[in-house]
């Protein structure tokens, strides 16, 4: 890979066009980042309104968990189609349609007259937001250089996590002010606006705006791999039969399934029941792991790019993540200051999974970056769909016989086991040294 040299590129290409491309790519990415904030908001919002939903629709904790999981089931099922859409229809149309659908789903959820319509709304939200992230990765692969991919994935995750932060204390305050129903209607209207902006501003490739491609600016000869026709069926088979694809899948499944069980479903209840604080105070606690994930995504992605290593950072930070879950699952009622540190560190080190996306891109053909990352992405949402429901079953079965501390320790033991399985697959990751190493 030739080293990026913008000054040298300007000597060969039109300087004004190069400068415009380097600026406009941030506008494209910025609009997509707003879409990703919506993705994270809906991912974690259910946990904040858990009691409202249970009381409103008179449902069990298992049914609540299944309602929350509907988002993740839809997201999981749509990942390969999302990769196909990113590689064929393009990011602009894919994200615009997806965010519009999520907005309609959010409005239906907020206005649901029964639990059935709540499930319908949640399903539409899940389908809509499921086609946002993979196109963002695709955009990064054509608007940004290869050596920036790790850090850009981290920055994207950081910005997306702002939506997760909004889905904690800010959402709790909004719900208190205008009710949970109106809160989701407001987010639906906001989503429709972002959808329109995506269609008007985002472009799939710099050349669609008359700018030089990033490969041209870097002085690299590439035969327009991003514009070539790809046989989608063969591409999916190619990625799925590549054994190097699967460690990232299981790491994401184990790590993210546990994280969502805490931040998106049962964490607020854990804090209120075990530590005897209000819902808003509990939301303040739950901001810590979400903020940790946001900061860690940038830090770990940047460290990986700087080290030119993928596997080593995954082993180091994955070990700490496992230890944090051990403290929560087996540590009883922690001192509140220690709990805050553990929660932030847990989120920070959970972001180890962002390197799995980079690894997937680097061990599969570059022209199918959307599909290769989407297959790994399925893992995270498989874990996120299954694990909260597993914990919901524990709560329904043992809540009448166990005290709060013992009950949550028993439930979170399954999160610890989930992370342990994911951590085991770190040792099977193929080191890429931050470059594409695919060979037929």
Write down the domain spans for the chain: 6-216+230-426
- Assign domain 6-216+230-426 to a CATH class: mainly alpha
pTM (2 decimals)? 0.77
Confidence (pLDDT) at 227: 45
Three-class secondary structure assignment of the chain: CCCCCHHHHHHHCCHHHHHHHHHHHHHHHHHHHHHHHHHHHHHHHHHHCHHHHHHHHCCCHHHHHHHHHHHHHHHHHCHHHHHHHHHCCCHHHHHHHHHHHHHHHHHHHHHCCCHHHHHHHHHHHHHHHCCCHHHHHHHHHHHCCHHHHHHHHHHHHHHHHHHHHHCCHHHHHHHHHHHHHHHHHHHHHHHHHHHHHHHHHCCCCHHHHCCCCHHHHHCCCCCCCCCCCCCHHHHHHHHHCCHHHHHHHHHHHHHHHHHHHHHHHHHHHHHHHHHCCCHHHHHHHHHHHHHHHHHHHHHHHHHHHHHCCCHHHHHHHHHHHHHHHHHHHHCCCCCHHHHHHHHHHHHHHHHHHHHHHHHHHHCCCHHHHHHHHHHHHHHHHHHHHHHHHHHHHHHHHHCCCCCHHHHHHHHHHHHHHHHHHHHHHHCCCCCCCCCCCCCC
Confidence (pLDDT) at 7: 52
**Residue found by looking up tokens 């939200």 in the block:** 125
Q: Is residue 2 a contact partner of residue 218, using CB atoms and an 8 Å limit?
A: yes
**Residue found by looking up tokens 């088979």 in the block:** 237
CA–CA separation, 230 and 250 (whole Å): 27
Rg (CA), the chain: 21
Confidence (pLDDT) at 11: 52
- From residue 325, give the alpha-carbon distance in Å to each of 121, 289, 299, 328, 414: 32, 12, 21, 5, 10
Mean pLDDT of each 10-residue bin along the chain, 440 residues long:
48 70 88 91 86 90 88 84 79 93 96 95 93 85 75 78 84 90 95 94 84 70 48 81 92 95 90 91 91 87 87 96 96 93 97 87 80 84 90 91 93 97 95 79
Confidence (pLDDT) at 408: 95
């Amino acid at each position: 890979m030739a080293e990026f040299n913008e000054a040298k590129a300007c000597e060969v290409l039109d300087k004004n066009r190069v400068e415009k491309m380097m600026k406009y790519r941030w506008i494209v990415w910025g609009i997509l980042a707003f879409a990703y904030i919506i993705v994270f908001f809906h991912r974690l919002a259910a946990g904040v309104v858990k009691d409202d939903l249970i009381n409103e629709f008179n449902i069990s904790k298992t049914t609540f968990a299944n309602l929350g999981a509907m988002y993740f089931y839809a997201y999981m099922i749509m990942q390969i189609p999302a990769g196909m859409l990113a590689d064929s229809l393009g990011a602009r149309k894919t994200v615009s349609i997806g965010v519009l659908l999520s907005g309609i789903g959010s409005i239906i959820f907020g206005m649901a007259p029964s639990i059935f319509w709540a499930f319908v709304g949640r399903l539409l939200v899940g389908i809509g937001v499921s086609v946002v992230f993979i196109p963002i990765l695709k955009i990064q692969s054509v608007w940004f250089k290869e050596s920036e991919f790790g850090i850009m994935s981290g920055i994207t995750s950081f910005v997306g996590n702002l939506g997760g932060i909004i889905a904690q204390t800010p959402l709790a305050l909004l719900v208190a002010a205008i009710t949970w129903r109106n809160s989701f209607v407001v987010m639906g209207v906001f989503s429709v606006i972002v959808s329109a902006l995506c269609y008007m501003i985002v472009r799939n490739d710099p050349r669609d705006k008359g700018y030089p491609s990033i490969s041209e600016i870097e002085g690299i000869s590439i035969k327009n791999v991003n514009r070539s026709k790809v046989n989608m069926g063969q591409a999916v088979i190619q990625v799925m039969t590549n054994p190097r694809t699967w460690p990232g899948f299981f790491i994401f499944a184990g790590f993210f399934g546990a994280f969502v069980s805490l931040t998106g479903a049962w964490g607020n209840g854990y804090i209120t029941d075990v530590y005897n604080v209000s819902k808003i105070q509990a939301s303040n606690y739950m901001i810590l792991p979400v903020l940790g994930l946001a900061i860690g995504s940038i830090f770990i992605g940047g460290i990986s790019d700087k080290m030119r290593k993928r596997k080593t950072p995954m082993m180091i930070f994955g070990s700490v993540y496992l230890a944090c879950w051990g403290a929560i699952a087996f540590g009883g009622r922690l001192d509140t200051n220690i709990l805050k540190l553990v929660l932030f560190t847990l989120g920070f080190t959970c972001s180890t999974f962002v390197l799995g996306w980079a690894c997937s891109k680097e061990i599969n053909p570059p022209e199918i970056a959307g599909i290769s990352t989407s297959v790994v992405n399925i893992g995270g949402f498989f874990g996120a769909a299954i694990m909260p429901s597993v914990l919901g079953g524990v709560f329904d079965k043992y809540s009448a016989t166990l005290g709060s501390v013992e009950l949550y320790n028993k439930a979170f033991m399954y999160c610890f086991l989930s992370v342990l399985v994911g951590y085991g697959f770190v040792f099977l990751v193929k080191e890429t040294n931050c470059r594409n190493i695919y060979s037929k």
